Structure 1
């Protein structure tokens, strides 16, 4: 599902905003000696401290109201005016933050060292405003090309013997092959130029759309070539550094062996909530209508539903990211033998191991229970899939491959089933070179 911004990008933006706000807050401290000139008494100091407390405890709009009330009675209290500029800045109201800072700058009583710091802050405001609002439309194309080795292209069973002494034909047994994998995509993000207030938080509304093409072509086993054309669109809402939500409508057209396999139409809402300084909790729900087109897939048309919950955490200032979660799913098909439900657990990690280089790993355990009885066996199937993926990636920093990323992944899938036809092992090794623009 397309995301307006990645969690890492969100963290970097948050750090930049916090750094600038702290620098401006320091200016107010420099002006503290001027409090006598403003004849600030205990009541004024109490109001001032209350406003700072409100802002630092997640109520910036209340802080703005308190500081404006204080300044209406004490218009020369520039330390409060600078804190008001910080509060406007944290609510993304750059125009008012700039105006309040300029009033301090224009005051002949402001010390020269403070004026220099205010000028630096105004320059930073200009840069931040330009980055946040100058380009409401953002286009992000990407391309990649990969080479894949697949030890079991057709997911052939480990046991070729069927009930009654029947045996599978050689073409149905485990078959290995090489493949070329290509992908191209374009993501368009629009963010509203005007933030809105939601309680004590500042929110920005956006819309994300994407289109992509994927194709996997085997060298010999052309019947298993897979193509996917995707179109997706939907709104997004980012509420400060606290949480973000998305609603994604997506259509996938799939081809298999050169023929149309089917069309999947999905609706996927999701929400992510910040937990502490380095954690994030994500919940999502997915509904998919699977419409198969081949006659051999008669009875497989289905409605798929799932719900997932995941928690991610950054360690060592973002050098290590760990995420774990669980998902429940249910698929109702036209024929009971294709209907199933179950659950999945997963755990993954990514480590920044060197400049531009990452190591990553993911493990998942999935349990599926089917409803209908399978022909020949006279019973419904049960499956347990264990999947382990290890990989590394490197983004080139210089040279003609600058900004291109080379990645390698090794994946093992072990699928256990109570019916021999559905038990198999599969190993894949893939190398991919790609870039986002």
Structure 2
């Protein structure tokens, strides 16, 4: 490209693999018994805590194995049939390829307003990203995102539609990794059989990077298109062998279109089948 010679290595070529994912967690809700008076309405004060472990292990390309251990906690106020709000503090420890990757520590306030046949949610997240590897020093920084998401119910809640938008800013220590971005998303879910539903979601994300790419000496702009289609079945009936479980299957396609296509453009297709059970 220009006066730069590029040689494709095997790692740059199209590849496929299988992986298994295990995700286990514990949720605790503490009801304080305290009432919150706002105007003529009375709400409940609760405390939410979650701990979880996520692990994705590949069959061949184990350098991409990912594990995340997370803990979050914080208060919430519930105004039944009116609104709810929460403030969560979260810490995530990540490993990649079996080696320590970094710590992400976040603060996440949110509020949801409920109205007839729908709700509107606003949330903001601030994350401090700290990495263990020397090669990732320039990727450390502060991530901020805020946005709105609208959900509407139709046909006695048998059909649910969502529409949302988000603004994103990442202040990286090295400008070539920092960016200003935005996302828009839309989705629909519909009850299609007894205890079963189908859904489709789409998301477009655009990112404008702060600094020039060091290899091409060019400012980088990316647009990511993500499409997800899935089926979900909940085992609720007394005679179900998998009672209290949820079986789902989905296909997801991601296309990242970059103006520096030789390095950052790609297409990823993923199929997943999962079984989830709550106790």
Which TM bucket (shorter chain)?
over 0.9
Paired residue for 1:404?
245
Deviations 1:374-411 (A, max 9, x none): 12211111000000000001122333212211100100
State the Cα distance separating 1:163 from its structure 2 match: 6.1
Paired residue for 1:204?
44
- Mapped contact 1:201–1:240 kept (Cα < 8 A): no
TM normalised by structure 1 equals 0.62
The alignment status of 1:287 with 2:129, answered yes or no, reads no
Larger Rg: 1
> Residues of 1 paired with 2:193 and 2:32: CA distance?
37
SS in 2 for 1:376: coil
Paired residue for 2:203?
364
Q: Which has the higher helix share?
A: 1
- Mapped contact 1:192–1:205 kept (Cα < 8 A): yes
- Mapped contact 1:246–1:269 kept (Cα < 8 A): yes
Paired residue for 2:168?
329
TM normalised by structure 2 equals 0.96
Deviations 1:195-225 (A, max 9, x none): 3432111110000000000000000000000
- Mapped contact 2:176–2:214 kept (Cα < 8 A): no
Where in structure 1 are there 5+ consecutive unaligned residues? 1-160
> Residues of 1 paired with 2:82 and 2:269: CA distance?
40
> Residues of 2 paired with 1:388 and 1:335: CA distance?
31
SS in 1 for 2:139: coil
Paired residue for 1:263?
103
Residues 373-388 of structure 1 aligned to structure 2 (within 5 Å): 373-388=212-227
> Residues of 2 paired with 1:185 and 1:360: CA distance?
25
Q: Which has the higher strand share?
A: 2
Paired residue for 2:278?
436
> Residues of 2 paired with 1:376 and 1:238: CA distance?
52
State the Cα distance separating 1:286 from its structure 2 match: 0.8
Aligned length: 276
Deviations 1:146-181 (A, max 9, x none): xxxxxxxxxxxxxxx796231221123222100011
Paired residue for 2:155?
316
Paired residue for 1:304?
143
The alignment status of 1:248 with 2:75, answered yes or no, reads no
Deviations 1:96-143 (A, max 9, x none): xxxxxxxxxxxxxxxxxxxxxxxxxxxxxxxxxxxxxxxxxxxxxxxx
Paired residue for 1:227?
67
- Mapped contact 1:163–1:377 kept (Cα < 8 A): no
Paired residue for 1:215?
55
Q: Which has the higher contact order (CA 8 A, sep 6+)?
A: 1
Where in structure 2 are there 5+ consecutive unaligned residues? none
SS in 2 for 1:164: coil
- Mapped contact 1:366–1:385 kept (Cα < 8 A): yes
After the TM superposition, which segments of 4 or more aligned residues of structure 1 sit over 3 Å from their partners? none
> Residues of 2 paired with 1:338 and 1:376: CA distance?
13
Q: Give the root-mean-square deviation of aligned CA atoms.
A: 1.3
| CA spacing shift, 1:356–1:162, aligned 2, 3 Å | farther
The alignment status of 1:193 with 2:43, answered yes or no, reads no
State the Cα distance separating 1:291 from its structure 2 match: 0.3
